[in-house]
Amino acid sequence: MYRQSLELVQSVTTGPARRAMERFDKQIGTGHASTDVQEIVSAASTGRVEHLFLLENAVFPAEVQGGADLLDTAAVQTLRYGGDVHTLPETSMPSAKPICAIFRYVSEST
């Protein structure tokens, strides 16, 4: 299912995707962006994810149970709430993680 999802949301790193990647670099560490998969899935489920970046062909370490399923969940929920999903090759990812996101707003619990 993850591979099928990737095919549906393939994107190029130009225009809006490029601008969002530049924003990520400025917003990481401020509460407006994250590379934590659990935080991103939670945020996506409440409509907070504005831009989601997924690593093409992501492979998760054994300790990350259900890694591909978590990416699927984040992607589906982001799209459900009108966010953008971008799949990128490793060389274009804004971080060295398989998933990262820009949030619409900072969580009140942060």
Question: Any idea how long the chain is?
Answer: 110
Tens-place pLDDT, residues 54-98: 988 876 665 566 667 888 889 999 999 999 998 888 888 888 888
Q: Which residue in 9, 10, 33 sits closest to 20, CA to CA?
A: 33
Tens-place pLDDT, residues 2-45: 555 555 555 445 567 778 877 888 888 889 999 998 999 999 99
Task: Determine the Cα angle at 72 with ends 66 and 76, to 5°.
Answer: 145
Q: What is the pTM of this model?
A: 0.79
Domains of the chain: 2-103 (3.30.1330.30)
